[in-house]
């Protein structure tokens, strides 16, 4: 069975001894079948909301900066942004190397550099050195760019619900069974079977814990923070 919206919904249908949907009748499905589609999306939504930074929701974005412009909009699907990842990309035509931007607070920017947003003095422009987070869904750079530099940064997105039968979840297929456990929980609740719903929710939670142990609860190295004193003889 294909790993897409249709395949996941039919996984639920088979487990509940329901007739499977096809690509022809998927969009017009009603009643329980519509609830089965909602159940799959609810399960995926629950998984995505259970951690801020699932690696399968990681995105590397690029913006082309405009000369003189300080502030830029973040994508509409941003969940969290790694401000420590901002860098200016090497561009041989513009003559700049790759440069990692340093983070400054919005308050520090307002205190020290905000006049750059209103100044027409082009001599203050250059290759950006700093990045800051604004109170809105924007980021800012300083100094204002003097050319169309490419800025690269990384963020974690808010996934959207599956709609078309060919839509594929952002979760890797190896976690298909976890999605189905969650979908079965919601499907049983729809049918008024709270006992089986509770059993599947426990399996669903256990599966998410396993995902967290694989992707989230990892340590690349252990650092020794002890302070060593010279031996006194």
Domain map (residue ranges) of the chain: 5-53+171-215, 56-157
What is the Cα–Cα distance from 141 to 126, expressed in whole angstroms?
A: 11
Q: What is the CA radius of gyration of the chain?
A: 25
- Beta bridge partner(s), residue 60: 154
pLDDT in tens, the chain (233 residues): 799 999 999 999 999 999 999 999 999 999 999 999 999 999 999 999 999 899 999 999 999 999 999 999 999 999 999 999 999 999 999 999 999 999 999 999 999 999 999 999 999 999 999 999 999 999 999 999 999 999 999 999 999 999 999 999 999 999 999 999 999 999 999 999 999 999 999 999 999 999 999 998 655 555 555 555 555 44
pLDDT of 52 reads: 85
Could you give the CA distance from residue 80 to residue 70 in angstroms, rounded to a whole number?
Answer: 21
pLDDT at residue 233, rounded to an integer? 44
Res 216: pLDDT:
81
Q: What is the pLDDT of residue 220?
A: 52
By CB atoms closer than 10 A (0-12, 13-18, 19+), residue 40 is buried
Q: What is the pLDDT of residue 144?
A: 97
Q: Report d(CA 177, CA 187) in Å as an integer.
A: 15
Among 101, 92, 94, 96, smallest CA distance to 153 is for 101
**3-class secondary structure, 149:** coil
pLDDT at 1: 79
Q: Which residues, 6 or more positions from 204, have their beta carbon under 8 angstroms from its beta carbon?
A: 43, 46, 178, 181, 182, 185
């Amino acid at each position: 069975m294909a790993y897409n919206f249709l395949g996941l919904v039919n996984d639920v249908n088979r487990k509940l001894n329901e007739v499977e949907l096809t690509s022809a009748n998927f969009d017009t499905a009603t009643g329980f079948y519509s609830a089965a589609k909602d159940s799959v999306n609810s399960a995926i939504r629950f998984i995505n909301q259970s951690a801020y930074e699932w690696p399968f929701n990681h995105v590397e974005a690029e913006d082309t900066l405009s000369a003189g412009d300080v502030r830029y909009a973040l994508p509409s699907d941003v969940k969290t942004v790694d401000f420590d990842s901002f860098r200016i990309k090497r561009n041989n035509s513009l003559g700049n190397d790759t440069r990692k931007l340093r983070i400054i607070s919005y308050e520090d920017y307002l205190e020290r550099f905000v006049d750059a947003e209103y100044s027409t003095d082009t001599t203050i422009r250059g290759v950006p050195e700093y990045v800051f987070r604004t109170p809105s869904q924007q980021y800012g750079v300083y100094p204002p760019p003097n050319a169309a530099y490419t800025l690269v940064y990384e963020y974690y997105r808010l996934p959207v619900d599956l709609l078309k039968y060919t839509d594929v979840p952002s979760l890797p297929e190896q976690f298909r069974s976890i999605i189905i456990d969650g979908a079965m929980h919601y499907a049983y609740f729809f049918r008024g079977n709270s006992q089986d719903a509770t059993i599947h929710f426990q399996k669903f939670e256990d599966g998410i814990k396993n995902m967290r142990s694989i992707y989230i609860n990892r340590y690349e190295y252990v650092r020794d923070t002890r302070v060593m004193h010279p031996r006194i003889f």
